[in-house]
């Protein structure tokens, strides 16, 4: 008598769409289209509304270029600064222990939860004209930078922390036993392992910094030379210059896509090794 | 021969001398100092200074600020807009998470990617985008909406849309991983016991994801309450009518009127509650 | 003296891991630290290697003071139970790591690494990643890596604990033969007494943070200092007031000097060995016999016999 072979259960298979789930998908797609796809398409279409010359003049005038340049450079700087300091902070939170560490953990979450305009006011108070510590960064590039650093603080820290927690500590001990001083061990063993996470966090920080508005608004003072791109676009909207606003917005979206794609490649290449 | 391997001398890396443990400790203190000082100077101190100045300005100023008529109206508007946006997002979030985790259909991975788009878009662009679709004079649906008398831009519906847009991925991204990991066998068991789709949803699926869902909802609430740029564009920023609390804070600050600090402190207090909730609910395995 | 650790004490909070422990290992010997889990042997090994600092005591390696010297300057090779492979580096780069740190010329590195990989039979895997190797292969790579920098001392922390029995036995043999070739002072930690008995020149038995006994495998097996060591290194049974090895009990058909009467309760045959469970007046010993011996005595359940320890057997007074 033959015994039937045991059936091998694969990972839970996903089901085909039925009546209710199909309708649900339809609703979800409709909602997404109405809310996200259509509006974004409208931006791109409107930007091209006056043809190539209209687009170009909207984007290449002095004020627009200044704003775009400030925005991109600041976002890159912020991504880089966060990559270093965020990793350092994550390291301290994971490997060190001291009284008040939990407070530091909670403080790091503040930028996630605080309204951007409140962040802006808070930074203006300490680093603006009425500063109690004598730091006057109102209407300066440094002020813009500080605002962007504020809102992007948690990104790299929170992506790197879980990876650090999961690291094989014995590999670091092995490196030490082979003669590697602590910094060498960090450079050759820890860094390659956390590189993908640092890249992801930096990408998030970059994207956020490119589009940031509320926190920068107050401290930049609205002057053309310290206005970021989002402020410029807002001004255009207020003046009913929709084509101009849409054109600059399109440029911002494109820059973000390119940089995010590059950082995505970095992430992928770094992740392949592990 | 194997022993040959150990005959060629390899220099030891450094003369062996006892190292003061102090050097290791120094590095540790230095790193700790940089981390704490940076976080303190960047985030903690500014917030503390604002709270301090608010206290300094006294209780009656505080009371006047939070009971000013446009502020009171803003509480209503904020609660309405944020409440609706979070509700829509939660329903959408759970629904999409279930679709992505339990079903297969063409375009599934595309849907997955699209969900993340809103997070990386500037709020001003979000506002502009909505105006270009739903605005009466500027939008693709403008004439149709105007004929039907439906005011989206410069009114609550638009503000809800803007807030829902920016918080779109938050619930999905928390619930989806949990659904992908667990629950499917229980749902199948429930089905074999005769439970219909609604019963399975309410009795099995939702309880499975309840903590992740709570976390996502708190994140959405914090995001919705704090939304500024997109709502500013879409609402027209009309005092006493279409202002949320964040817009009132901005107006006070930009016009140098009193009350910006006080209302900010109210928002800070609400954020603090959200942070506490976030820390408590944060999925295990982190921090 | 290859390793000399004196007066080592270490606590983790309230838990005393090591209490005034001394360890001496002669240059070139292969020593096992044997004991139950949590007994302190890994802690002692890590202190010798510089991965932990003792609360009290000193460590000398090859006559030079090493206390307080961090691990990276002790020139001590360390092999971990779970391999501690550098996951993002190939097998070649793993083994080359210590040499690259010391900035040896590329040609020299290439030569030594390939020699070592041939020694551990991994040369054809040089370009693979550790994740593509089996457990046993990863551990051989870890050994090659540790040996590459010519350590003065080689320390292994339960090196075969994560491997299947068959692989464990193979690597055990292999480690012994490697040591016979290479003669590095080696200390390894294990809780498996068979492993310790088979591989090492000397065994140090550690329990509850203290050293119970030190000696050659035969010494410890034949002349245990206390009942813990006796019980840990081999089977023990109790005959009257004494502890004795089951294969050291003589079973006699008739009364003899020094023998006690007993009765066979149960016989279990395992291959060509026979295990006899007996009862005497005040104890219930079991005896290990060959099948031939059992047949010669015509053992059956219920049979009356006389028992006494073999005249050269070591016994201990039971507590």
Give the one of B2, B10, B18 whose C-beta lies nearest to C119's C-beta: B2
CB contacts of B186 in chain A (<8 Å) are: none
Residue B188's domain is classified under what CATH number? 1.10.3720.10
**List of residues 6+ apart from C183 with CB closer than 8 A:** B3, B6, C28
Q: Between chains, do A43 and B140 touch, taking CB under 8 Å as contact?
A: no
Last residue of a domain, one of B11, B38, B56: B56
C230-272 residue pLDDT tens: 999 989 999 888 888 999 988 988 888 888 899 999 999 998 8
pLDDT tops 90 at residue A171? yes
Residue B185 sits in the same domain as residue B252: yes
Distance in Å, alpha carbon of A134 to nearest chain B alpha carbon: 13
Residue B131 sits in the same domain as residue B267: yes
Q: Between chains, do B43 and A110 touch, taking CB under 8 Å as contact?
A: yes
HSE of A14 in the Cβ direction (CA atoms, 13 Å)?
17
Residue B84 sits in the same domain as residue B120: yes
CB contacts of A193 in chain C (<8 Å) are: 87-88
Q: Could you tell me whether strands C242-244 and C316-317 are parallel, antiparallel, or unpaired per DSSP bridges?
A: antiparallel
A142-151, A205-214, A240-249, B205-214 — which is least confidently predicted? B205-214
Cα separation, B147 vs B278, whole angstroms: 44
pLDDT tops 50 at residue B14? no
HSE of C22 in the Cβ direction (CA atoms, 13 Å)?
4
**List of residues 6+ apart from C306 with CB closer than 8 A:** C251, C252, C253, C254, C255, C256, C259, C260, C261, C262
Flag whether B51 is in a domain. Answer: yes
Residue B202 sits at the chain A interface (C-beta within 8 Å):
no
Residue B155 sits in the same domain as residue B265: yes
More confident residue, A171 or B7: A171
Instruction: Output the average pLDDT for chain C.
Output: 91
CB contacts of B8 in chain C (<8 Å) are: 112, 150
CB contacts of C88 in chain A (<8 Å) are: 192-193, 273-274
Please compute the mean of the pLDDT values over residues C165-180 and round it to a whole number.
Answer: 90
CB contacts of C59 in chain B (<8 Å) are: none
Last residue of a domain, one of B10, B28, B56: B56
**CB contacts < 8 A (A, B):** 261
Residue B98 sits in the same domain as residue B181: yes
Residue C86 sits at the chain A interface (C-beta within 8 Å):
yes
CB contacts of B168 in chain A (<8 Å) are: 35-36
Flag whether B13 is in a domain. Answer: no
DSSP readout, B73-100? HHHHHHHHHHHHHHHHHHHHHHHHHHHH
Q: Closest chain A residue to B137 measured between Cα atoms?
A: A240
Residue A138 sits at the chain B interface (C-beta within 8 Å):
no
Q: Tell whether the torsion through CA atoms of A185, A188, A189 and A191 is positive or negative.
A: positive
pLDDT at B286: 38
pLDDT at A273: 62
Q: What is the band of C196 on the pLDDT scale with cuts at 50, 70, 90?
A: very high
Q: Which domain holds residue B164?
A: 59-286
Pick from C211, C226, C205: nearest CA to C318 = C226
Whether A150 and A181 have beta carbons less than 8 Å apart is answered as no
User: pTM value?
Assistant: 0.83
Distance in Å, alpha carbon of C200 to nearest chain B alpha carbon: 19
Q: Closest chain B residue to A237 measured between Cα atoms?
A: B128
Q: Between chains, do B122 and A111 touch, taking CB under 8 Å as contact?
A: no
Interface test with C, best of A179, A180, A271 (most C CBs within 10 A): A179
Residue A19 sits at the chain B interface (C-beta within 8 Å):
no
Flag whether B198 is in a domain. Answer: yes
Flag whether B5 is in a domain. Answer: no
pLDDT tops 60 at residue A180? yes
Whether A104 and B35 have beta carbons less than 8 Å apart is answered as yes
Query: How many helices and strands in chain B, by DSSP H and E?
Result: 16, 0
pLDDT at C215: 94
- Global ipTM: 0.87
Flag whether B9 is in a domain. Answer: no
Q: What is the band of B18 on the pLDDT scale with cuts at 50, 70, 90?
A: very low
pLDDT at B150: 86
Give the one of B46, B139, B164 whose C-beta lies nearest to A125's C-beta: B46
Q: Between chains, do A118 and B268 touch, taking CB under 8 Å as contact?
A: yes
Q: Closest chain A residue to C50 measured between Cα atoms?
A: A177
Residue B111 sits in the same domain as residue B125: yes
Which other chains touch chain B, taking contact as 3+ CB pairs less than 8 Å apart?
A, C
> Using CA atoms in the order C97, C101, C104, C109, what is the torsion angle rounded to 10 degrees?
0
pLDDT tops 90 at residue B117? no
What are the domain boundaries of chain A? 20-49, 50-273
**List of residues 6+ apart from A69 with CB closer than 8 A:** none
> For residue B67, with 0-12 CB atoms within 10 Å meaning exposed, 13-18 middle and 19 or more buried, which class applies?
exposed
pLDDT tops 50 at residue B7? no
Flag whether B12 is in a domain. Answer: no
Residue B134 sits in the same domain as residue B257: yes
Q: What is the band of A10 on the pLDDT scale with cuts at 50, 70, 90?
A: very low
DSSP readout, chain A? -PPPPPPPP-SPPPBPP-HHHHHHHHHHHHHHIIIIIHHHHHHHHHHTTTHHHHHHHHHHSHHHHHHHHHHHHHHHHHHHHHHHHHHHHHHHHHH---TTHHHHHHHHHHHHHS-HHHHHHHHHHHHSTT-TTS---TTSHHHHHHHHHHHHHHHHHHHHHHHHHTS-HHHHHHHHHTT--HHHHIIIIIHHHHHHHHHHHHHHHHHHHHH--HHHHHHHTT-GGG--HHHHHHHHHHTT-HHHHHHHHHHHHHHHHHHHHHHHHHHHHHHHH-
Q: Could you tell me whether strands C30-34 and C185-190 are parallel, antiparallel, or unpaired per DSSP bridges?
A: parallel
Residue B29 sits in the same domain as residue B42: yes
Specify the CATH class of A50-273 in words: mainly alpha
Q: What is the band of B284 on the pLDDT scale with cuts at 50, 70, 90?
A: low
CA distances from A243 to A43, A264, A270, B133 (A): 9, 31, 41, 14
Q: What is the band of B8 on the pLDDT scale with cuts at 50, 70, 90?
A: very low
Flag whether B2 is in a domain. Answer: no
Distance in Å, alpha carbon of B200 to nearest chain C alpha carbon: 41
Q: Provide the number of structural domains found in chain B.
A: 2
C113-170 residue pLDDT tens: 999 999 899 999 999 999 999 999 999 999 999 999 999 999 999 999 889 999 999 9
Cα separation, C54 vs C20, whole angstroms: 10
Whether B263 and B248 have beta carbons less than 8 Å apart is answered as yes
Cα separation, A229 vs A252, whole angstroms: 8
Give the one of B3, B14, B18 whose C-beta lies nearest to C67's C-beta: B18
pLDDT at B128: 95
Pick from B191, B215, B178, C45: nearest CA to A18 = B191
Flag whether B101 is in a domain. Answer: yes
CA distances from C116 to C95, C96, C127, C193, C283 (A): 8, 10, 14, 29, 56
Give the one of B5, B10, B19 whose C-beta lies nearest to C116's C-beta: B5
Interface test with A, best of C84, C96, C158 (most A CBs within 10 A): C84
Residue B133 sits in the same domain as residue B160: yes
pLDDT at A135: 82
Q: Between chains, do B18 and C65 touch, taking CB under 8 Å as contact?
A: yes
A17-26, B94-103, C239-248 — which is least confidently predicted? A17-26
Q: In what order do the strands lie in the sheet with C30-34?
A: C76-79, C153-157, C185-190, C30-34, C202-207, C210-215
**List of residues 6+ apart from B177 with CB closer than 8 A:** B212
Residue B75 sits in the same domain as residue B63: yes
A147-161, B131-145, C87-101 — which is least confidently predicted? B131-145
CA distances from C66 to B124, C51, C54, C72 (A): 63, 12, 12, 11
CB contacts of B233 in chain A (<8 Å) are: 234, 237
Query: Looking at chain B from residue 242 to 281, which residues have their Cβ under 8 Å from any Cβ of chain A?
Result: 245-247, 249-250, 253-254, 260-261, 264, 267-268, 271-272, 274-276, 278-279
């Amino acid at each position: 008598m033959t015994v039937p072979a045991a059936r091998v259960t694969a990972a839970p298979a996903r089901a085909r769409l039925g009546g209710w789930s199909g309708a649900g998908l339809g609703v979800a797609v409709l909602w997404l289209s109405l809310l996200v796809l259509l509006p974004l398409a409208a931006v791109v279409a409107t930007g091209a509304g006056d043809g190539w010359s209209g687009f170009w003049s909207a984007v290449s005038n002095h004020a627009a270029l200044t704003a775009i340049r400030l925005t991109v450079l600041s976002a890159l700087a912020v991504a880089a600064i966060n990559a270093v300091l965020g990793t350092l902070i994550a390291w301290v939170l994971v490997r060190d222990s001291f009284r008040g560490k939990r407070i530091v953990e909670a403080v790091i979450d503040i930028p996630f939860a605080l309204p951007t305009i409140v962040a802006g006011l808070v930074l203006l108070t300490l680093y603006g004209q009425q500063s109690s510590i004598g730091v006057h960064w109102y209407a300066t590039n440094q002020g813009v930078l500080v605002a962007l650093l504020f809102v992007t603080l948690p990104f790299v820290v929170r992506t790197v922390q879980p990876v650090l927690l999961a690291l094989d500590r014995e590999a670091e001990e092995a490196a030490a036993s082979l003669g590697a001083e602590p910094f060498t061990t960090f450079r050759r063993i820890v860094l390659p392992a956390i590189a993908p996470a640092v890249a992801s966090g930096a990408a998030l920080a970059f994207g956020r910094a490119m589009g940031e508005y509320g926190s920068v608004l107050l401290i930049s003072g609205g002057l053309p030379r310290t206005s970021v791109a989002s402020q410029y676009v807002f001004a255009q909207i207020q003046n009913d210059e929709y084509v101009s606003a849409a054109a600059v917005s399109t440029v911002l979206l494109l820059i973000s896509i390119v940089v995010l794609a590059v950082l995505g490649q970095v992430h992928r290449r770094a992740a392949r090794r592990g | 021969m194997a022993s040959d391997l150990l005959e060629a001398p390899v220099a030891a890396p450094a003369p062996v001398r006892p190292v003061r443990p102090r050097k290791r400790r120094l590095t540790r203190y230095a790193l700790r100092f940089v981390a704490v000082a940076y976080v303190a100077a960047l985030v903690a101190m500014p917030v503390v200074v604002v709270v301090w100045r608010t206290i300094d300005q006294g209780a009656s100023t505080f009371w006047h600020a939070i009971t000013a008529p446009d502020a009171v109206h803003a509480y209503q508007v904020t609660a309405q807009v944020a409440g609706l946006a979070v509700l829509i997002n939660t329903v959408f979030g759970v629904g999409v998470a279930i679709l992505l985790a339990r079903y297969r259909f063409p375009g599934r991975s595309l849907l997955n990617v699209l969900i993340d788009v809103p997070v990386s878009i500037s709020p001003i662009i979000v506002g502009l985008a909505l105006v270009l679709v739903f605005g009466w004079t500027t939008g693709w649906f403008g004439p149709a909406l105007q004929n039907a008398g439906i005011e989206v831009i410069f009114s609550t519906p638009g503000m809800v849309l803007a807030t829902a847009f920016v918080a779109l991925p938050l619930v999905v991204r928390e619930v989806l991983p949990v659904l992908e990991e667990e629950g499917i066998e229980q749902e199948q068991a429930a089905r074999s016991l005769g439970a219909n789709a609604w019963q399975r949803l309410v009795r099995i699926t939702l309880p499975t994801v309840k903590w992740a869902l709570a976390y996502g909802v708190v994140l959405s609430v914090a995001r919705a309450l704090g939304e500024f740029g997109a709502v500013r564009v879409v609402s027209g920023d009309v005092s006493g009518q279409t202002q949320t609390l964040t817009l009132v804070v901005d107006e006070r600050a930009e016009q140098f009127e009193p009350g910006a600090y006080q209302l900010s402190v109210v928002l800070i207090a609400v954020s603090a509650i959200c942070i506490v909730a976030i820390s408590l609910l944060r999925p295990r395995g982190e921090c | 003296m290859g390793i000399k650790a004196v007066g080592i004490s270490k606590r983790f909070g309230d838990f005393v891991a090591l209490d005034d422990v001394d360890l001496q290992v002669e240059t070139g010997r292969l020593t096992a630290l044997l004991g139950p889990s949590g007994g302190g042997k890994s802690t002692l090994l890590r202190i010798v290697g510089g991965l932990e600092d003792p609360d009290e005591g000193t460590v000398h390696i090859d006559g030079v003071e090493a206390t307080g010297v961090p691990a990276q300057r002790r020139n001590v090779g360390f092999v971990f139970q779970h391999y501690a492979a550098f996951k993002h580096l190939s097998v070649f780069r793993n083994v080359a790591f210590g040499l690259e740190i010391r900035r040896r010329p590329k040609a020299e590195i290439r030569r030594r690494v390939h020699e070592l990989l041939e020694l551990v039979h991994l040369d054809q895997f040089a370009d693979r990643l550790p994740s593509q190797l089996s457990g046993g292969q990863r551990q051989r790579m870890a050994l090659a890596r540790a040996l590459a920098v010519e350590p003065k001392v080689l320390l292994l922390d339960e090196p075969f604990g994560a491997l299947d029995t068959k692989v464990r036995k193979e690597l055990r043999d292999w480690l012994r033969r490697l040591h016979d070739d290479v003669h590095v002072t080696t200390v390894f930690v294990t809780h498996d007494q068979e492993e310790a008995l088979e591989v090492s020149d000397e065994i140090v038995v550690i329990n509850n943070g203290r050293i119970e006994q030190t000696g050659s495998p035969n010494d410890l097996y034949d002349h245990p200092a206390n009942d813990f060591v006796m019980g840990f290194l081999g089977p023990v049974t109790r005959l009257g007031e004494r502890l004795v090895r089951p294969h050291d009990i003589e079973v006699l058909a008739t009364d003899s000097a020094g023998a006690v009467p007993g009765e066979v309760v149960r016989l279990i045959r395992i291959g060509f060995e026979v295990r006899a469970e007996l009862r005497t007046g005040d104890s219930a010993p079991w005896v290990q016999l060959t099948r031939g011996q059992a047949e010669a005595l015509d053992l059956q359940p219920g049979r009356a016999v006389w028992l006494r320890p073999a005249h050269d057997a070591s016994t201990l007074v039971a507590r």
